[in-house]
Structure 1
Amino acid sequence: MSLTLDEARARAAMLSEVSYDLALDVRSPDAFRSRVAVRFHTDGGDTFLELYRAESLEVTLDGSAVAPAYDGRRIPLDGLTPGPHEVVVDARLQYVTDGEGLHTFIDPVDGERYVGGYLGLDITQRLFACFDQLDLKAPITLSVTADPAWTVLSNGLPVVADGGRFVFATTPPIPCDLFVVVAGPYHSVRWQHRGLHMGWHARRSLAAELERDAAELRRVTEVCFDHYAQIFSEPFPFDSYDQVFVPELNWGAMECPGCVTFNESLLPRARVTDDDRRRRAMVIAHEMSHMWFADLVSPVWWEDAWLNESFADYMGFEVAETVAGYAGTRVSFEAAFKPGAYLADRRRSTHPVAPAAEDVPDVDTGTTIFDAISYGKGNAVVRQLVTWLGEADFLAGVNAHLSGHRFANATLEDLLSALDAASPRDVREWAEVWLRQSGHDTIRVLRSGDVPVLTRDGVRPHRFTVTAYSSSLEPVGSRLVDLADQPLELPEWAGLAVVPNSHGETFARIELDPFSYETVSRALADLPDPLVRAVLWATVLDRVPPASHLELLARQLPRESSPTLVTAALDRTLNVLVRRVLPSSDIPAALELIASACALEGEPDEQRAVALARGLARTTSDTALLRRWLDADATDQGLALDPELRWAVVHRLAELGGLEAPQIEAERLRDGTATGDLGAVTALAARPTATAKSAAWAAMTEDPDVSVRRFQALASGLWSLSQRELVTPYVAAYVAVAPSLARRGSAFAAAVGRAFPALPLTAEELELVREALHADVPVVLRRHWEDELDDRTV
């Protein structure tokens, strides 16, 4: 029943002037009431509204009660006459616990209830009856009946808050999938900036954390706002700007116009590291840029999701680094995000950054576009576009595009027309190879005698920085170069090691010549520029065989000064090499080697100590060390265990057989939060007993209402690398039951896909997955499985 491209085009062609007047009643904890008046003009004929699993449904058309043949997903509107119409749909709907619809959450700290409309592709219909597609943008008027003591937030500025009735100003035309409503006893920090009402909000039990970070959150918000006000000719499009940390959001954040929702992981408990601050600033900048890219100007269909995400991801990292003051944000992109984009671009599921509309035939397929291609690769491609065009021409084209399509929809062709008019370069030719074709080029370093020569395998023009180093790794020089069909000789750097794309301006794999590789890999951690090290860590780990990978990690990680690069190298090693590549028999030795590389002795840098301690907690087999840490609530060197680190220790100790259920329950009670509840779930599932594994599997598969978060926590404990014999029976069981579990919805399907056995699989086990893919597997799960198969052979 996923909306198809053909259906969306037909409906958009016959409808215009759509608007919604929505009333929600969320007072009952059992279900909520949704009443919406949908007004529109039509040329006449048949169409439909979407509404998911409504109960007690009442429908009136132009004032008369009707009884449409409702099938649980669509309300037919047949035989409409040309002209204006009003359909009123009154229904009782269920809350959800999977983040797709009106999500309900009970805070274990204080028992308070929160609800939130977390919407997106094919989800708005779970909240109210609508024409659930991008190109029928509409103004939305909202009223909410709720507990009078609650805070209620939505896209518009509140105009009434009296006795439990909350009314909001009508929005400008927005895509209905970007509508939002959140309600509960939120703690708020409010102010005005340049005449605009702004606020940050978090659950009452997180008030201390919000107050701790309020000054920083306000500063980043204002700096980003002022920057966008300067570079974009269109003013901020909405009448307020709230930012809300909401419980159990399925993604990092959501760009709802005037009211952005954020995952609560961005408001850490206890310790806030520099990496936490960089990531949060990046997400704030990313989501705010969406007010222009996605909200003011929206795609027509999901093939142009990159027009939202690639631009916002580029803006997020760029603005956090260069405007908000978070040096090292680009380092995190090169080290932690870009490698995943290269991997994604080698899978069978890769796609052009800008695919054709016909390549996204329905919304289910559209959900798979929000991937490392649209984010990581798209970000890198936009950065290359800016480098290639120059920032002035880029912004001139972008501003013409935004002004020409304000509060409307636009396509890639619209953007290319604007950029072409602003630049003397052939933007369409550039777009054809960079945006319309999948895959990536390889930039190679060759030698003509002692002279380095850059060549390109591929079809794309590249502009990037190349840096030269002496044999002692002293930087000799850097310059920006263009590379296309013709080799580029660098005679001024004869006899030197060279690193192309050293500042990450382009998207291409790097193949160093033997001399340059030997020079930089010998003392990678000693290179002075962390951005160059980020590029090289990713490049080297992408190329070396497993034994060399582990040897390099053991040799260089103890000397790597950047906590960001320490974490990225550990994640890459554990999540890719250990989980997918090494045979099971080699895993214990690999974990011991990684643990040795994370030694903390004498580490004076707290940020780096945290990164190493987290790595050690994930890999050590020293139960005595882990028990000492728990008893002292600190490492042997005195580093306090923040909640994330403490639960990592509990998980690993339980996995090693060092904690039983009563001790894990004591840890849960000690923590007392929703995060602690999930940490305990993971630790219980990780215990090395058949009973623990059986209980975890039953909890994952037999409870029809298991939440996304609980399902993920159970899977994290179930698949223990060091318990291969115990978990072997659940590999085939997972393959058998996953397709039926995935039919709950796209968010749960993604969770089922991410629950793929997190350990090396035998050829026979992989064949089970391949055989299952011949049957009816939901689109989202199919994508995850195919990617897992590819990642184990790439």
Structure 2
Amino acid sequence: MSLTLDEARARAAALSEISYDLALDVTSTDDFRSRAVIGFTTTGGGTFLELHRARTLDVVLDGTPITPAYDGVRIVLDDLAPGKHEVIVDARLSYVTDGEGLHTFTDPADGERYVGGYLGLDITQRLFACFDQLDLKAPITLTVAADPAWTVLSNGVPTGPGAFATTPPIACDLFVVAAGPFHSVRWEHAGVPMGWHARRSLAAELDRDAAELRRVTEACYDHFARVFTEPFPFDSYDQVFVPELNWGAQENPGCVTFNEFMLPRGRVTDDDRRRRAMVIAHEMSHMWFGDLVSPVWWEDAWLNESFADYMGFEVAETAAGCTGTRVSFEALHKPGAYDADRRRSTHPVAPDSADVPDTATATTIFDEISYGKGNATVRQLVTWLGEDDFLTGVNAHLTAHRFGNATLQDLLAALDAASPRDVRGWADVWLRRSGHDTIRVTRSDGVPALSRVGVRPHRFTVSAYTAELEPVASRLIDLGDEPLVLPDWSGLVVVPNANGETFARLDLDQQSRDALTEGLTTVPDPLVRAVLWPELLDRDPLPLLARQLPHEPSPTLIGAALTRIRNRLIHRTLPAAAVPDALAVVAAACATTGEPDEQRAVALARGLAWSTADTALLRRWLSANATDQGLTLDPELRWALVHRLAELGGLDAAGIEAERRRDDTADGALGALTALAARPSESAKAEAWAAMTEDPGVSVRRFRALAAGLWSPSQRELVAPYIPAYLAAAPTLARRGSAFAAEIGRAFPALALTDQEHEGVREALRHDMPTVLRRHWDDELDDRTA
């Protein structure tokens, strides 16, 4: 049952002074005990707590046992007198393997067990009884009964074995608990106890990266301590790599959780470091934006995510010393935001509350609009407003609403008071409207002019180059209703938004487009190339890739171009008959006879691993555990080679099992599942499909791994029967929960569909299905039929 906006508003109006005293017992492997003592004050009448599918339930209200109405989701409390009350909810709940609740994981590397409550929107009720909404913030006190040899982590400062100090008021979806035999690195900075933690089998990787993780953490902390007038809001700061987290990371106050892919086994590339530093900065900024001050309802989720995403990339680039982080945003993230803004499902960065009527809908707005477009919009706001006025307004907002909730209007009021500019007018066109503008370059007698197709004011850098793409000049300009003529740049190549300050597509004049298409990789600034690669790649993908990729000096841009070709062209729109030739173009562009830059060699080898049809090359690399040029295979690259060799029919089940034994880890088990599912036989596809659909407890990661092997554009005839089977089974499977529904949506067939198959999707969408899955399918249709 999805909580509605009206219900949340009514409950928030009736309740106040909420507190939680929580006791968890995770010593049993069958289920766990959750006992919540909930204090609250009410204006009187009825209300309800959420608790998802309790196996047993005992409720005591104000000292008296009661048997309330309970439908498996809501505990109804009727006829409450005005004033203070205490309800004790003692329940036994099931562990989960989909990350939504108290997740359990057994490490195949050493048999150790880990449990964790990694919560979020509409999930806290799967761990303890609560008023599960953003604007009913409350202090939480926790005790955990667990194996005495385990480390237990949570939001509060530890006060004893399994016991934690009461938190300040926090939204209950930001509560976290993680327990298991973690390996830890601890220290203190600026008077705050800090730590990094990872499961025991990843101890070597954590120790390898500990100095870097500490340096980035302290650099980000020091930066935020300088720019925010509110001090760090919590008493400690732990960061923990947890197994099978459903997203990249989560901003739990005082105890941030990270997906383990950010602690790679083997090689750590510069892109890995930049991404990790960005996420560290992103999550730490949430301690202020999202945790100290939280939205009232989910239409303002962008106030969390857009600001944190902007801060993540900006602070990683400027404070944490990870040069090139902005390049990765322009090349990898912003293009997806443009794609999302062209779909039917697009929405304003800041939608109206009426457009988010319930929590089911809210789960769909954590998307490329709230992150990628929102990030770009905040950057444009800072560019347009000026950083000093921006920070003055932000700090006033944080202080005014500390440990409370706030809305867009609250933030706009603070920014408006800090700046002479019309912030509310800016917000109306940038935040309240969907879609994006286009910056167009035209020429008259060789003189370039910039014009805007759209309604938004833009401030950005425009750069000029010679015909040979040598830099001539750059300037920061404002573009509004009137075209901007650049007479002193007559005959020059012109690149608007060269540094990516705004969110607008480019429509270049023919002279500029021709020069850039022919010589893109000679443009010296990688940030300018990052802006241009997606624009030019979308117009003529394979010829541009063949011509420019072998000469692209940036590993980040190589990886971004290959990812876009794979995901947008080969997996979605290219007819099956054209796939082999397209893969051959990609493989030829990635082939190298000797690459002195290891980072670049890794990016090219990863592209070759999924595109080559040369089974002899794949076997040779696996046998040597290195490429022909001597680049050692890291686990990620090795499993990509195994996947491709199996897909080509060059590796049987016994060979895949040998690889799994060679890498007897959780990642190895998943890699083997993908490779087994990729084999070109009817039996392999049948086994994969059964594993995906017949086990009601299949984990999100196992499902993802199987789907990655099942669908292959090169195996159209083999997988075609599973397209209608997927459409028939997915709606039922997706009712397990929002995270699993999202994974099922992402498992949409990764190949171009026929007209008849497209109609099959449309027909399925005419019937009832979970909101999250519907959103994924609508987006897939838009991406494939645009």
The 2-side partners of 1:489 and 1:519 are apart by 21
Q: Which residue of 1 aligns with 2:174?
A: 178
Q: Which residue of 2 aligns with 1:138?
A: 138
- Residue 7 of structure 1 pairs with residue 7 of structure 2: yes
Q: Which residue of 1 aligns with 2:101?
A: 101
The 2-side partners of 1:519 and 1:702 are apart by 55
CA offset digits 1:503-562 (Å, max 9, x no partner): 0000000000000101111110111000000001011123x1xxx320110000000000
Given candidates 704, 714, 723, the residue that maps to 1:722 is: 714
CA offset digits 1:394-435 (Å, max 9, x no partner): 000000000000000000000000000000000000000000
Q: Which residue of 2 aligns with 1:274?
A: 270
Q: Which residue of 1 aligns with 2:469?
A: 473
Query: Does structure 1 retain, via aligned residues, the 8 Å contact 2:574–2:751?
Result: no
The 2-side partners of 1:541 and 1:483 are apart by 26
Aligned ranges 1:739-758 → 2 under 5 Å: 739-758=731-750
Aligned ranges 1:506-525 → 2 under 5 Å: 506-525=502-521
**What is the CA-CA distance between 1:601 and the residue it aligns to?**
0.9
The 2-side partners of 1:153 and 1:617 are apart by 39
- Residue 573 of structure 1 pairs with residue 565 of structure 2: yes
- Residue 605 of structure 1 pairs with residue 601 of structure 2: no
Q: Partner of 1:349: helix, strand, or coil? A: coil
CA offset digits 1:223-259 (Å, max 9, x no partner): 0000000000000000000000000000000000000
Q: Which residue of 2 aligns with 1:666?
A: 658
CA offset digits 1:173-207 (Å, max 9, x no partner): 00000000000000000000011000000000000
Q: Which residue of 1 aligns with 2:451?
A: 455
Given candidates 314, 319, 342, the residue that maps to 2:315 is: 319
**What is the CA-CA distance between 1:584 and the residue it aligns to?**
1.1
Q: Partner of 2:30: helix, strand, or coil? A: coil
Q: Which residue of 2 aligns with 1:240?
A: 236
Query: Does structure 1 retain, via aligned residues, the 8 Å contact 2:53–2:73?
Result: yes
The 1-side partners of 2:303 and 2:453 are apart by 27
CA offset digits 1:637-672 (Å, max 9, x no partner): 110000000000000000000011011011011001
Given candidates 183, 195, 200, the residue that maps to 2:196 is: 200
The 2-side partners of 1:675 and 1:515 are apart by 49
Given candidates 525, 530, 552, the residue that maps to 2:544 is: 552
**What is the CA-CA distance between 1:579 and the residue it aligns to?**
1.5
The 2-side partners of 1:188 and 1:581 are apart by 46
The amino acid that maps onto 1:324 is A
Aligned ranges 1:11-90 → 2 under 5 Å: 11-90=11-90
Q: Which residue of 2 aligns with 1:619?
A: 611
The amino acid that maps onto 1:45 is G
Structure 2: 5+ residue runs without aligned partners? none
Q: Which residue of 2 aligns with 1:217?
A: 213
The amino acid that maps onto 2:702 is R
The 2-side partners of 1:539 and 1:502 are apart by 12
The 2-side partners of 1:150 and 1:580 are apart by 46
Query: Does structure 1 retain, via aligned residues, the 8 Å contact 2:520–2:529?
Result: yes
Aligned ranges 1:574-593 → 2 under 5 Å: 574-593=566-585
The 1-side partners of 2:74 and 2:107 are apart by 34
- Residue 156 of structure 1 pairs with residue 156 of structure 2: yes
The amino acid that maps onto 1:110 is D
The amino acid that maps onto 2:107 is D
**What is the CA-CA distance between 1:581 and the residue it aligns to?**
1.7
Q: Partner of 1:792: helix, strand, or coil? A: helix
- The number of equivalent residue pairs is 786
The amino acid that maps onto 1:487 is P
- Residue 306 of structure 1 pairs with residue 298 of structure 2: no
- Residue 348 of structure 1 pairs with residue 344 of structure 2: yes
CA offset digits 1:6-33 (Å, max 9, x no partner): 0000000000000000000000111100
**What is the CA-CA distance between 1:744 and the residue it aligns to?**
0.2
**What is the CA-CA distance between 1:730 and the residue it aligns to?**
0.3
**What is the CA-CA distance between 1:448 and the residue it aligns to?**
1.8
Q: Partner of 2:342: helix, strand, or coil? A: coil
Q: Partner of 2:265: helix, strand, or coil? A: coil
Q: Partner of 1:723: helix, strand, or coil? A: helix
Aligned ranges 1:376-415 → 2 under 5 Å: 376-415=372-411
Query: Does structure 1 retain, via aligned residues, the 8 Å contact 2:537–2:545?
Result: no
The amino acid that maps onto 1:141 is T
The 1-side partners of 2:56 and 2:486 are apart by 74
Aligned ranges 1:633-712 → 2 under 5 Å: 633-712=625-704
The 2-side partners of 1:304 and 1:549 are apart by 37
The 2-side partners of 1:395 and 1:448 are apart by 42
**What is the CA-CA distance between 1:55 and the residue it aligns to?**
1.4
Query: Does structure 1 retain, via aligned residues, the 8 Å contact 2:289–2:303?
Result: yes
The amino acid that maps onto 1:42 is T
- Residue 364 of structure 1 pairs with residue 364 of structure 2: no
**What is the CA-CA distance between 1:151 and the residue it aligns to?**
0.3
CA offset digits 1:140-159 (Å, max 9, x no partner): 00000000110000000001
- Residue 772 of structure 1 pairs with residue 759 of structure 2: no
The amino acid that maps onto 2:33 is R
The 2-side partners of 1:116 and 1:721 are apart by 37
The 2-side partners of 1:56 and 1:296 are apart by 35
**What is the CA-CA distance between 1:450 and the residue it aligns to?**
1.2
The 2-side partners of 1:706 and 1:192 are apart by 40
CA offset digits 1:689-717 (Å, max 9, x no partner): 00000000011111111111000100000
Q: Which residue of 2 aligns with 1:125?
A: 125
CA offset digits 1:474-507 (Å, max 9, x no partner): 0000000000100000111111010000000000
The 1-side partners of 2:516 and 2:727 are apart by 43
- Residue 437 of structure 1 pairs with residue 429 of structure 2: no
- Residue 486 of structure 1 pairs with residue 472 of structure 2: no
The 2-side partners of 1:780 and 1:738 are apart by 11
Q: Partner of 2:115: helix, strand, or coil? A: strand
The 1-side partners of 2:651 and 2:569 are apart by 28
The amino acid that maps onto 1:451 is V
Structure 1 residue runs of 4+, over 3 Å off?
none
CA offset digits 1:375-405 (Å, max 9, x no partner): 0000000000000000000000000000000
CA offset digits 1:556-609 (Å, max 9, x no partner): 000000000000000001110112221111110000111000012111110000
The 2-side partners of 1:5 and 1:28 are apart by 37
The 2-side partners of 1:178 and 1:532 are apart by 38
* % same residue: 76
Q: Partner of 1:98: helix, strand, or coil? A: coil
The amino acid that maps onto 1:14 is A
CA offset digits 1:278-297 (Å, max 9, x no partner): 00000000000000000000
Q: Which residue of 1 aligns with 2:621?
A: 629
TM-score of the superposed pair, with normalisation by structure 1: 0.99
CA offset digits 1:355-377 (Å, max 9, x no partner): 00010000010000100000000
Q: Partner of 1:403: helix, strand, or coil? A: helix
CA offset digits 1:661-685 (Å, max 9, x no partner): 0110110110010000000000000
The 1-side partners of 2:310 and 2:610 are apart by 32
Q: Partner of 2:266: helix, strand, or coil? A: coil
